[in-house]
């Protein structure tokens, strides 16, 4: 009996061993499958595979033309201001009142700037977070770029300089301040945190832009030019080319060399969305977004021509300095998209995205749009330079220093936001009482011509 049981026990052990081997193999296969899934997830986090891209590629909506118009045009209450654009054109040809044309054009451009930001946000769903951020900065500043090109075409170099300067100041003080303030009120029990390393790099780029704008002004006011009148212009053009190269290197650094840090921002944003229970999907398709961007950009270009043409007449009829109109009023309209986006991200505790919108827009204007306008003016035969004059350059320098100090800790709260907003009010009051000597003669000539027109109209 014992001899009969031994082979049975051996057979049972062999069967148990085979079962264990099968279990080990199946477990090993499960581990391999898990490892492949974790590798795929890590590749997605690093940006090689974008989960949001695949999600939104499958969830891309297919809207009809009428539904697309309803989503883009009729879904926002701010679009009630859209008829002011055609009304400005009618007033220009029927009444020819520069003040009303300027005011109506300014109001009409406001919803267009916001819709440009919306279409860019929809297009960013189909790209990565870095490319989406660059698209936001690019089309968020397309209003200022178009206005600047039209002003250059009319020879209004000081309007170009002051409009771009005002856009930088508005983004750094007003937009960022409102984002800090609103985010701090929502999350008042804690300090909001953002990436300190990226903020330091951005502050360095802003200081480089100040260097490029400061040196031509110093050269002019110290009367140390080798060739009077031409050395300042040559230095501005050379510095503009260097700044464009630096901005291209910054884009390469952001897209390629440091993509891991920006993909980490995307991961944090996705975690915040999951925690809040929000599921954000695109409302329009990729080609719809591209078509709407083209239409809105063309409409902004049309209105910008009437806006720029009415600036001097509005300054005379309203008795407001052109510097205040250029530095304060125009950038507030142009930065409507950035303003709304930065506040929205801050109230969702996505402060890195708010910084990317506000500071990223300031970097693009100072490192790309300003030198690009110098190069465009060079091609047009206009003497557009980087000498923004002493008052404006000092404003920019102090503003960059103040913002750099606020960003160095990597935290924000509503008090920091309030301080930035109050600093912007000081800047606005300063330009309201500032009279630009380089524009005084042009305004007087415009005022005398308006008086002459009134005299001839009353006489005949």
Domain extents in the chain: 76-273+281-433
pLDDT band at 354 (very low <50, low <70, confident <90, very high): confident
What pLDDT is attached to residue 452? 42
- CA-to-CA distance for 192 and 181, rounded, in angstroms? 11
What pLDDT is attached to residue 339? 76
Does position 291 have pLDDT exceeding 80, yes or no? yes
- CA-to-CA distance for 63 and 200, rounded, in angstroms? 43
Give me the architecture of the 76-273+281-433 domain, per CATH.
Up-down Bundle (1.20)
- CA-to-CA distance for 134 and 137, rounded, in angstroms? 5
Least confident among 9-23, 191-205, 357-371: 9-23
Q: Could you tell me the maximum CA-CA distance found in the chain, to the nearest angstrom? A: 138
- CA-to-CA distance for 180 and 359, rounded, in angstroms? 13
Residue pair 370/162 in contact (Cβ under 8 Å)? The answer is: no
Q: Of 417 and 270, which is predicted with more confidence?
A: 417
Q: Highest-confidence range of 188-202, 339-353, 367-381, by mean pLDDT?
A: 367-381
| Residue 199 buriedness (CB in 10 A; 0-12 / 13-18 / 19+) | buried
What pLDDT is attached to residue 22? 42
> Could you report the per-residue pLDDT of 94-136, keeping only the tens digit for each?
887 888 999 999 888 888 877 877 887 788 778 766 676 567 6
Does position 407 have pLDDT exceeding 80, yes or no? yes
pLDDT band at 43 (very low <50, low <70, confident <90, very high): very low
Q: Cα 369 from chain centroid?
A: 12
Q: How far is the CA of 279 from the CAs of 30, 55, 247, 436, in angstroms?
A: 31, 11, 34, 51
Length of the chain: 460
Element containing residue 412 per DSSP (H, E): strand 411-412
The closest of 143, 204, 156 to 332, measured between CA atoms, is 143
What pLDDT is attached to residue 283? 82
**In this structure, what are the phi and psi dihedrals at residue 64, rounded to the nearest 5 degrees?**
-80, 170
Average pLDDT, the chain: 77
Coil/strand/helix, residue 313: helix
Coil/strand/helix, residue 223: coil
Residue pair 220/232 in contact (Cβ under 8 Å)? The answer is: yes
Residue pair 181/343 in contact (Cβ under 8 Å)? The answer is: no
Q: How far is the CA of 230 from the CAs of 30, 134, 233, 384, in angstroms?
A: 74, 35, 5, 12
- CA-to-CA distance for 341 and 305, rounded, in angstroms? 27
| Residue 424 buriedness (CB in 10 A; 0-12 / 13-18 / 19+) | buried
Q: How far is the CA of 46 from the CAs of 137, 199, 265, in angstroms?
A: 23, 21, 11
| Residue 437 buriedness (CB in 10 A; 0-12 / 13-18 / 19+) | exposed
Least confident among 55-69, 271-285, 302-316: 271-285
pTM: 0.74
Element containing residue 102 per DSSP (H, E): helix 98-124
If phi over 0 gives left and psi between -120 and 50 gives alpha, with beta otherwise, what is residue 452?
alpha
């Amino acid at each position: 009996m014992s001899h009969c049981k031994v082979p049975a026990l051996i057979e049972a052990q062999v069967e148990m061993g085979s079962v264990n081997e099968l279990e080990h193999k199946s477990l090993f296969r499960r581990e391999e499958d898990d490892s492949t899934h974790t590798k795929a997830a890590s590749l997605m986090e690093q940006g090689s595979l974008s989960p949001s891209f695949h999600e939104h590629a499958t969830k891309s909506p297919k809207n009809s033309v009428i539904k697309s118009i309803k989503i883009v045009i009729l879904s926002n209450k701010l679009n009630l201001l859209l008829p002011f654009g055609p009304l400005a054109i009618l007033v220009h040809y029927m009444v020819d009142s520069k003040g009303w044309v300027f005011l109506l054009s300014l109001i009409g451009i406001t919803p267009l700037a916001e819709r440009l930001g919306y279409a860019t946000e929809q297009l960013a769903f189909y790209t990565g977070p870095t490319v989406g951020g660059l698209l936001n900065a690019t089309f968020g500043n397309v209003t200022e770029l178009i206005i600047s090109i039209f002003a250059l075409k009319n020879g209004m170099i000081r309007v170009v300089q002051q409009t771009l300067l005002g856009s930088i100041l508005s983004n750094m003080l007003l937009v960022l301040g409102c984002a800090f303030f609103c985010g701090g009120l929502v999350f008042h029990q804690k300090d909001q945190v953002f990436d300190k390393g990226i903020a330091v790099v951005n502050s360095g780029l802003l200081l480089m832009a100040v260097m490029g704008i400061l040196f031509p002004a110093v050269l002019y006011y110290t009367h140390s030019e080798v060739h009077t009148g031409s050395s300042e212009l040559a230095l501005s053009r050379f510095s503009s080319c260097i700044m464009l190269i630096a901005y291209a290197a910054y884009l390469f650094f952001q897209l390629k060399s440091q993509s891991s840090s920006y993909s980490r921002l995307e991961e944090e944003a996705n975690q915040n969305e999951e925690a809040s229970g929000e599921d954000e999907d695109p409302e329009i398709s990729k080609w719809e977004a591209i078509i709407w961007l083209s239409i809105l950009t063309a409409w902004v270009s049309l209105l910008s021509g009437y806006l720029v043409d009415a600036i001097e007449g509005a300054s005379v009829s309203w008795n407001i300095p052109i510097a205040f109109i250029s530095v304060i009023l125009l950038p507030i309209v142009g930065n409507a998209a950035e303003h709304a986006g930065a506040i929205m991200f801050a109230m969702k505790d996505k402060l890195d995205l708010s910084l990317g919108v506000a500071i990223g827009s300031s970097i693009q204007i100072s490192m790309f749009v300003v030198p690009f306008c110098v190069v465009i003016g060079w091609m047009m035969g206009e003497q557009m330079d980087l000498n923004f004059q002493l008052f404006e350059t000092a404003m920019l320098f102090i503003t960059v220093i103040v913002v750099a100090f606020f960003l160095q800790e990597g935290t924000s709260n509503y008090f920091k936001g309030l301080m930035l907003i109050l600093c912007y009010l000081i800047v606005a009051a300063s330009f309201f009482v500032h009279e630009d000597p380089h524009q005084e003669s042009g305004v007087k000539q415009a005022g005398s011509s308006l008086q002459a027109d009134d005299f001839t109209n009353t006489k005949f």
